[in-house]
Structure 1
Amino acid sequence: MLRALEIRDMLIIDRLDLDFQPGLNVLTGETGAGKSILLDSLGFVLGWRGRAELVRAGAEQGEVVAVFDLAPDHAARGVLEEAGLPAGDELILRRVNTADGRKTGWANDRRVSGDVLRRLSDTLVELHGQHDDKGLLDPKGHRAILDDYAVAGDLQAEVRDAWRALATARKGLADAQKAMDAVRAEEGFLRHSVAELETLAPEEGEEEALDSQRRMMQAAEKIREDIVQASAALGYEGAEGAMSSALRWLDGAADKASGRLDAPIEALARAMAELDEAARGVAECLDALDFNPAELEACEERLFAIRGLARKHQVMSDELPGLAASLSERLEALDAGEARLGEWTKSIREAEARFDDASGRLTALRRDAARRLDTAVAAELEPLKMGRAVFETEVAEATPGPEGRDAVTFRVATNPGAPAGALNRIASGGELSRFLLALKVALHVQAGQGVTMIFDEIDRGVGGATADAVGRRLKALAEDGQVLVVTHSPQVAALGAHHWRVAKRVEDGMTLSEVVALDAGARETELARMLSGDTVTDAARAAARSLLAG
């Protein structure tokens, strides 16, 4: 609910503080007194796009502050949370416009963009009138309005879930088909490469081992003769025999040497052990160097094959095993692709069936709600002196999507037999206002849901009993909520729970607008002025008292 509106230096308002109340709030005044400026100022603080020049002449900046009360479940809290802003029981919006056109906004003392203000506005205020291009006159919102009227939330959720499942299945099929097409394009290459890699079966580290083996075999003939000589020198005919003889001689003399030969004998024994180990190593080397020339040829062929395959696939030799596994997986994907495509196709059929069922039930619900809404609006048009007019909710087939397969449009015909058309194209100003009011009442959208409804001269072009009917419907809408109405109709103004008069005054040669809250006596005078004009007669006062008495 809008609790307070403070305006500083906006257009012809220098300073204005308004405290609004629940129920029906009416603003009256002569044409040009500044009633529209109040709406312009409220729209400014809510981020609406409107006049470019709002700052009062001679002022450095204009400022508007709007204070709203928020219920615990108010939709504005979600917008605040999404924007990272504090949310409490009170929401204070403030916006400043400098003389050079710069605009700055705040929500609960935090800087916010115009976009955040507009999203908050959608949860705080509804504007209805001849220039209502966001609400009931916007065909883009008609489907959502009808769904709210039909209480279709659960079925809408079911349709959205089915559509998401269908979209997922379609994307899965498209991705699988794309992958299949890509693999098919290289099927020949894959099959040849996998066969080639499986035949060669390279192992990680194999190239280095083969290269080392090849080098050793190539060098074998050059080093074998020296190693043979070294082996002979270490053998029994060489060092081993000499050391064995020496050890035998020393052992024979040790008993008579009084222990002086013990240490040399031990050292010689250790040397014999080391000599034996060296001889074994040399023998093993000779065994390794003992190869068939065909082995060198086979080693070189495999080494060159591995290196050639690595160059062909532009990878390192050690990466060939991993490449083989990767190519095999791609080939397996191709072989299993048809089955995967079949699975996605089946998923699509199932999701389509689920979507068709849910969207069909939603269409039926919408058509039933459309008939009920048309009947309800027709009942409201009769007392508004538009009983011959026709309102129809058109539910037509549309491109399927997450909201189902229906397009919803509110259409009217002002005279029997005339073709129906869009609200804002068929109805005149006065007719349009009454259509909007009838639709709003029929939809049972209550201001008590936390939205302040504003009706800007919605009673234009009507009077007498029709104006009284308009006022009574506005009053009904304001029960347990808040409605603000700018009106020139005394019948409507008389039904307000709270009444403000907007007037002009001239101060130091400058025209300024002021808004005054009216008590019972002042209300009678204002209604009499609205009935009789500048000269308030006794008859006008009597009529005003009659209107106020109901």
Structure 2
Amino acid sequence: MLRLLSIRNFVVVEALDVEFDDGFSVLTGETGAGKSILLDALGLLLGDRFESRQLRPGAERAEFAAEFDVGDAAAAAAWLSEQELASDDDVLLRRVIDAQGRSRAWINGRPATLAQLAELGERLIDLHGQDAHQALASADAQRTLLDAFGGFTTLTREVGESWRVWRAAVEKHEAAASAAKASVSEREFLEARRGELSALGMTESEWGELSAAQSRLANAASLLETAAHCSEALIDGDDALAVRLSQLMHRLETNSALDPALREIIALVEPAAIQLKEAARALRDYRRRLEVDPAELQRVEARLAAIHDTARKHRARPEALPALLAETDARLLMLAEAADEAMLARRVADAEERYRAVAQPLSAKRRFAANELAHRVTEAMQDLAMAGGRLEVVLIPEASPASYGLEHVELRVASHPKQMLGPLTRVASGGELSRIALAIQVVTSEVGQVPTLIFDEVDTGIGGAVAATVGRELQALGTRRQVLCVTHLAQVAAHADHHFRVAKIGNGATVATTLDRLKSSERVDELARMLSGTEITVKTRAHAKELLEQHRRATS
């Protein structure tokens, strides 16, 4: 669960440190106060992209840090262990972003990539946004929702992998069938080419090695003369560089007693003397290795000519002949396999059988999970001013097997008893969609393993008794998981175990966002503001107290 969030120089936040507890916490505040800043900061800690406008004006860099307790997050703890980033039951995330957009991140003090932050984040936080009903519009999202609810994501991955193996077998079979139509003349041509290339016996590095040897042998006399001349100039001659440098060193050392400053110059000259000796030694070795060998030169040039003639015949670069032989072998193998159509057909059948061996159990699990999800969401809808409404999760067989299984998923809903079931996005109004999405989120969150749930204004479009029900649902969820909720409804906020108020202070020139944990009396004022707007009256304060009292009685 999230224990601490620290923000520096982010948008209008100069410095903010927030400690969180378990249970149900709400963040409230006036529109524009910066409630979303906390969620955006968390998103950046978990791998989101940073935009330059998010840096506080005048700041050189933004900094973010968060501390999580992973004692109750088995998936996160396992991931940290696999990545060798574990540190007891705590994990500390840190990210620094400068004005140029350069980013650095750490997990438990060790450098981390944004991809690693994102992978870990999926195991630490489950974010439900105010546009959740829009995300549910796609068939992929509806299928993923059902699979996550059922807890068989691993099986879904196995289905995807077996489907890819099957498709690869089908494509190979089809390619081989096409290759089987190749003419006999092609096969004869390839076999002849393979015979010539195999007989040549050329290695991948041979052309380069032979070319270098030919150049060396053909110019051996000139190279020997050059080596002898350089050796004479370096060390062997009476006026050699090494002799003159030795005399120079001797003179400097003699005079260094008169002025110690000369020792610094000696220290610079000494490496040059050593390098000259090394160069002279290398030249002597080179001269010993180099030999004039007409017979070897003739052998090398004959081999080069044979390779060059073969390359010209097959219209290839000489150095590419080994690769051409490999391509020829591969093509001949494909032609040979094409002749064994039965073997390839068996491979396709075996791959399909393995696919169905995992896809069919997935379908059975989906049917069971679909009924359970529909039942539980339908129950939740009754408490959200949708009495008689119902949800069905329909599995529709695909025309052909797919990477995700044998069927696609469609959520169908009726928002009241007289309405016919229809696709989620076609039969529900905007407000109804928000409530249905909320019901789905609450139900699916109950079975998840992520320790911290964040709801960002998911109560948009509801109010009154429905809002109070949402508050009770979130408070109940908070007894099992850590729940953070950004809300503008007093009826929801009244059910929180912990209440934070976000406020913007300052004038037009200097503006900052603050966050305060509210005490009991302060909660009354904040709830009253949420009920009435800017003006708090005796009536709205009384209403706020009543909301808190109702919550106290319900939980006592």
Q: Same fold (TM over 0.5)?
A: yes
Q: 1:170 to 1:34 in 2, by over 3 A?
A: same
Q: For residue 221 of structure 1, what is the aligned residue in structure 2? A: none
CA deviation string 1:310-335 (max 9, x = no partner): 99x989xxxxxxxxxxx999999978
* Cα drift, residue 92 of structure 1: 1.8
Query: Cα distance, 1:482 vs. partner?
Result: 0.8
- Whole-angstrom CA distance in 2 between matches of 1:89 and 1:34: 31
Match of 1:263 in 2: none
Q: Which residue of 2 aligns with 1:431?
A: 432
In the alignment, residue 539 of structure 1 is paired with which amino acid?
A
Contact 2:457/2:487 (8 A) holds in 1? yes
CA contact under 8 A between 2:438 and 2:459: conserved in structure 1? Answer: no
Map 1:161-180; keep pairs closer than 5 Å: 162-163=162-163, 166-167=166-167, 169-170=169-170, 173-174=173-174, 177=177, 180=180
Contact 1:146–1:370 (Cα < 8 Å) also in 2:
yes
1:499 maps to 2:502: no
- CA 331–27 in structure 1, closer or farther in 2 if over 3 Å, else same: closer
Give the one of 537, 542, 551 matched to 1:539: 542
Structure 1 residues 417, 21: CA separation in 2 closer, same or farther (over 3 Å shift)?
same
Q: Which amino acid aligns with 1:543?
A: E
How has the CA–CA distance of structure 1 residues 23 and 470 changed in structure 2, closer, same or farther, with 3 Å as cutoff? same
Contact (CA 8 Å) 2:133, 2:437: kept in 1 or not?
A: no
Contact 2:126-2:450 within 8 A present in 1 as well: no
Relative distance call for 1:332 and 1:515 in structure 2 (3 A) is closer
Deviation at 1:383, TM superposition (A): 0.8
SS of match in other structure, 1:405: strand
The number of equivalent residue pairs is 426
**Paired residues for 1:341-420 under 5 Å:** 341-356=341-356, 358-387=358-387, 389-398=389-398, 399-412=400-413, 414=415, 417=419, 420=422
Name the CA shift for 1:180/1:81 in 2 (closer, same or farther; >3 Å): farther
**Structure 1 175/78 Cα, relative in aligned 2: closer, same or farther at 3 Å?**
farther
* Matching residue of 1:129: 129
The residue type paired with residue 439 of structure 1 is I
SS of aligned partner of 2:21: coil
Task: Give distance in 1, aligned partners of 2:336 and 2:96.
Answer: 67
- In structure 2, the residue matched to 1:242 is none
Question: 2:517 corresponds to which residue?
Answer: 517
Question: Residues 191 and 118 of structure 1: is their aligned pair in 2 closer, same or farther, counting only changes over 3 Å?
Answer: closer
CA contact (8 A) 1:363 1:405 kept: yes
Question: C-alpha separation between the residues in 2 aligned to 1:329 and 1:477?
Answer: 61
Q: How has the CA–CA distance of structure 1 residues 434 and 170 changed in structure 2, closer, same or farther, with 3 Å as cutoff?
A: same
> Take 1:328 and 1:157, find their aligned partners in 2: how far apart are those partners?
36
Deviation at 1:373, TM superposition (A): 1.8
Residue 111 of structure 1 pairs with residue 106 of structure 2? no
Q: Distance in 1 between matches of 2:331 and 2:54?
A: 67
Q: Give, in whole Å, the separation in 2 of the partners of 1:358 and 1:94.
A: 41
Shift of 1:36: 1.6
Once residues 427 and 392 of structure 2 are traced to their aligned partners in structure 1, the CA distance between those partners, rounded to angstroms, is 13
User: Percent identity between the aligned chains?
Assistant: 37
Pairing of 1:239-388 with structure 2 (within 5 A): 338=339, 340-356=340-356, 358-387=358-387
Deviation of 1:506 after TM superposition, in Å, equals: 2.1
Query: Which residue number in structure 2 is paired with residue 29 of structure 1?
Result: 29
Question: Contact 1:23 / 1:481 at 8 angstroms: preserved in 2?
Answer: yes
Deviation string, structure 1 residues 328-361 (Cα, Å, up to 9, x no partner): 99999978864x3212313323443453464344
d(CA) in 2 for partners of 1:329 and 1:58?
A: 63
Q: Judging changes above 3 Å, is the alpha-carbon distance between structure 1 residues 397 and 546 closer, same or farther for their aligned structure 2 residues?
A: same
Q: How does 1:466-477 map to 2 (within 5 A)?
A: 466-477=466-477
Distance 1:91 1:170 in 2: 46
Q: Secondary structure at the match of 2:384?
A: coil
Q: CA deviation at 1:82?
A: 6.7
Deviates more, 1:531-540 or 1:2-11: 531-540
> Counterpart amino acid of 1:341?
E
Partner residue, 2:2: 2
Q: Deviations along 1:80-125, whole A, 9 cap, x unmatched?
A: 5676655652222222333344443332233333333233322222
Measured in 1, the distance between the counterparts of 2:108 and 2:392 equals 43
Map of 1:53-132 to 2, 5 A cutoff?
A: 53-71=53-71, 74-77=74-77, 80=80, 85=85, 88-132=88-132
Q: Distance in 2 between matches of 1:334 and 1:14?
A: 70
2:476 aligned counterpart, secondary structure: helix
- Structure 1 segments unaligned to the other structure (5+ residues): 205-306, 316-326
Distance 2:430 2:50 in 1: 21
* Equivalent pair of 1:22/1:480 in contact (CA under 8 Å): no
CA-CA distance at 1:466 after TM superposition: 0.6
Secondary structure of the residue aligned to 2:54 is coil
Relative distance call for 1:34 and 1:314 in structure 2 (3 A) is closer
Pick closer, same or farther for the CA change 1:188–1:62 going to 2, 3 Å: closer
| 8 Å CA contact retained: 1:77, 1:87 | no
Higher-Rg member (1/2): 1
Contact 2:105-2:112 within 8 A present in 1 as well: yes
> Aligned in 2, Cα 1:502/1:181: closer, same or farther, shift over 3 Å?
same
Q: Which amino acid aligns with 2:472?
A: R
Report if the CA contact (8 A) 1:70-1:450 is conserved: no
Q: Distance in 2 between matches of 1:332 and 1:49?
A: 49
* CA deviation after TM superposition for structure 1 residue 454, in Å: 0.9
Moved more, 173-182 or 65-74: 173-182
Distance 1:193 1:109 in 2: 60
Match of 1:529 in 2: 529
3-state SS of paired residue (1:436) = helix
SS of alignment partner, residue 25 of structure 2: strand
Which residue does 1:287 correspond to in 2?
none
Aligned to 2:481: 481
**1:457-495 CA distances to partner (integer Å, 9 max, x unpaired)?**
122232221111111111222222111001122221121
Report the secondary structure of 2:379's partner residue: helix
Q: Distance in 1 between matches of 2:178 and 2:403?
A: 25
Q: Distance in 2 between matches of 1:155 and 1:124?
A: 22
Aligned-partner residue type, residue 46 of structure 1: L
